[in-house]
Amino acid sequence: MKAVVYKGRLEVAVEEVADARIEEPTDVLVKITSAAICGSDLHMYEGRTAALPGTVLGHEPLGLVEEVGSAVERVKKGDRVVMPFNISCGTCFNCIRGYTAACLNVNPSAHGGAYGYVGMGPFRGGQAEHLRVPFADTNCLKLPGEPRDMFENDFVLLADVFPTGCFAADLAAVEPGMSVAVFGAGPVGLLAAYASALRGADEIYVVDYVPDRLARAEAMGATPIDLSRGDPVEQIIALRRARGTATAKMDGVMSGIEAVGFQAIDWADPSHEEPNRVLEDLIRLVNPTGHIGIVGLYVPEDPGGKNPHAKKGEIQISFGKLWEKGISFGTGQTPVMRYSARLRDLVTSGRARPSQVVTHRLPLDAAPEAYAKLSRREDGYAKVLLDPHM
Ligand SMILES: NC(=O)c1ccc[n+]([C@@H]2O[C@H](COP(=O)([O-])OP(=O)(O)OC[C@H]3O[C@@H](n4cnc5c(N)ncnc54)[C@H](O)[C@@H]3O)[C@@H](O)[C@H]2O)c1
Ligand SMILES: [Zn+2]
Ligand SMILES: [Zn+2]
């Protein structure tokens, strides 16, 4: 079958690889109709992880069940399914408590497994013609409709970024009437802003510098903040003062969301990376008693880190300031399954259209060009979907 393969820094290729097949009686084989490229893939693509050449990429897969293992009970041939990027067993101590991102049974070398991702187990990715899905009764979410129908671009986002936007809003304790600042207007940041709006947040600010991404944030009802114009914290506080929503000692926001990750650029000099930039900005911006949700990715091993600490994922933050303000924070991989069924129903009822972040739908062969353009954060490229049978 054809698949997108990581070859090394800034290089992916579409190659023939061994066909995906049923390996365990609890597996199904899925014929992929959409597989999204994620900002998380770009950390690997850019050579900033320990990913090995030869990795078949893709952890956001949607498709049709083509073959069913002998022990699978709930999933049938022909079902339309989306797979959460986390692979989980459904029965371990963490899975039964809803922490499917930390499943203890799927990855021999760590807690948590995923398709096509460094450190997440031996599973191949879904940017391919077919995907093997382990523990299929647990890992397939059934969907209505037909391949490539009006919900195709919404449903594929249930594998990761729409649930991740909701997880971010949860970690940041977004509630009706609250003020929120989202750093990063990639698909995750945009959907965190969208999830915050669905929850009734009042003021929503979205920080980035890519014009098309800021315009998408504005179209969702958020206030765009262009970091190339200077300190985003000062910009947001000035806007809150002008609006009259800033009050004494509480001129920042109550909820802050980090949707950038360790490759954050420094607004003071956008040609440089500063891995603690966004975390520091959030500690400055979030009000006393507020909350920070960190869904942007941080790695324990960064070959491209700018100093010995960054190479080991050691990020310096003003913990004293955070403590003094009594800010709570949460972080980690999204337990997708906690959200995906409910979000599917919001999509099918017409109340949510996360596909507004999708900018391209391309054949698999276009993957090398799409990765390169996404990596440059080229204007107009936000969420790219690959259709291996296009
Ligand atoms: N927690 C999870 O389970 C989970 C799931 C999906 C993605 N992620 C991570 O979330 C992050 C965002 O994903 P994405 O697909 O939206 O990626 P993306 O790369 O498309 O978006 C990141 C955005 O951040 C912007 N940015 C860079 N520096 C900034 C700064 N200092 N302030 C504000 N914005 C800045 C970039 O211009 C870019 O638009 C990535 O790190 C990804 O790995 C985590
Ligand atoms: Zn992803
Ligand atoms: Zn488990």
Q: Give the pLDDT confidence of 274-296 residue by residue, as tens digits.
A: 999 999 999 999 999 999 999 99
Assess whether 174 and 263 both reside in one domain: yes
Claim to verify: residue 82 and residue 192 sit in the same structural domain? no
Residues 112 and 7 placed together within one structural domain of the fold: yes
Residue 163: is its pLDDT beyond 90?
Answer: yes
Which of 331, 348, 371 is the endpoint of a domain? 331
Nearest to 77 by CA among 91, 65, 86: 65
Q: Which ligand places an atom closest to the C-alpha of 187?
A: 1
Q: How far is the CA of 91 from the centre of ligand 1 (A)?
A: 31
- Residue owning the nearest CA to atom 39 of ligand 1: 186
> Does the pLDDT of residue 4 top 90, yes or no?
yes
Last residue of a domain, one of 331, 358, 376: 331
How many Cβ atoms are within 10 Å of 138's Cβ, its own excluded?
A: 22
Which residue CA neighbors atom 40 of ligand 1 most closely?
296
Q: How many CA atoms lie within 13 A of 254 on its CB side?
A: 16
Residue 116 domain boundaries: 2-159+335-387
Do 370 and 265 lie in one domain? The reply is no
Inform me whether the pLDDT recorded for 94 exceeds 90.
Answer: yes
pLDDT band at 123 (very low <50, low <70, confident <90, very high): very high
**Domain co-membership, 193 together with 55:** no
The pLDDT, as a whole number, for residue 134 is 98
- The four Cα atoms 197, 212, 354, 369 give a dihedral, to 10 degrees, of -150
214-231 burial, b at 16+ Cβ within 10 Å, e below that, comes to bebbeebebbbbebeeeb
* Residue 351 confidence (pLDDT): 97
* One domain, residues 174 and 242: yes
| pLDDT surpasses 90 at 268 | yes
Q: Domain of 326: which CATH number?
A: 3.40.50.720
Which residue's CA is the nearest one to ligand 1's atom 26?
Answer: 184
Ligand 3 is an ion; its neighbours by CB within 5 Å are 88-89, 92, 95, 103, 105
What was the pLDDT predicted at 127?
Answer: 98
Q: Which atom of ligand 1 is nearest to the CA of 261?
A: 41
Q: How far apart are CA 310 and CA 98, in angstroms?
A: 32
Pick from 314, 331, 348: which residue ends a domain? 331
Q: Provide the whole-model pTM.
A: 0.98
Query: Relative to the CA of 208, which ligand 1 atom is closest?
Result: 34
DSSP letter, residue 247 = B
CA distances from 303 to 55, 122, 266, 306, 313 (A): 17, 21, 19, 9, 10
Cβ(28)–Cβ(75) below 8 Å: yes
Average pLDDT, the chain: 97
User: In this structure, are 43 and 58 located in the same domain?
Assistant: yes
Of 107, 112, 129, 134, nearest in space to 23 by CA: 134
Closest CA to ligand 1's atom 23: 184
Instruction: Based on the fold, state whether residues 176 and 62 are members of the same structural domain.
Output: no
Q: Which ligand is nearest to the CA of 264?
A: 1
> Are residues 205 and 142 located together in one domain of the fold?
no
Residues 287, 339 within the same domain: no
Residue 66 and residue 29: Cα distance in Å, rounded? 6
Residue 304 CA neighbour count, 13 Å, CB half: 18
pLDDT (0 to 100) of residue 209: 97
Index of the ligand 1 atom closest to the CA of residue 265 = 28
User: Residue 228: CB partners within 8 Å, gap ≥ 6?
Assistant: 209, 267, 270
**pLDDT interval class at 13 (50, 70, 90):** very high
Residue 306, pLDDT score = 86
Task: Give the model's confidence band at 159: pLDDT under 50 very low, under 70 low, under 90 confident, else very high.
Answer: very high
Distance (angstroms) between ligand 3 centre and the Cα of 88 equals 5
CA of 261 to the centre of ligand 1 (A): 5
The mean pLDDT value for 42-51 works out to 96
Q: Are 371 and 360 in contact (CB under 8 A)?
A: no
In total, the chain counts a number of residues equal to: 390
pLDDT higher than 90, residue 61? yes
Residues 94 and 180 in one domain: no
Is the pLDDT at 359 greater than 90, yes or no? yes
318 plus 370 within the same structural domain: no
Which CATH number fits the domain that encloses residue 130?
A: 3.90.180.10
Q: How many domains is the chain partitioned into structurally?
A: 2
Q: Could you give the percent of the chain with pLDDT greater than 90? A: 98
Summarize pLDDT for 300-330 with one digit per residue, the tens: 989 899 889 999 999 999 999 999 999 999 9
pLDDT of amino acid 356? 97
For ligand 1, residues with CB inside 6 Å are: 38-40, 42-43, 160-161, 164, 183-189, 207-210, 213, 227, 259-261, 264-265, 267, 277-278, 295-297, 333-334, 377
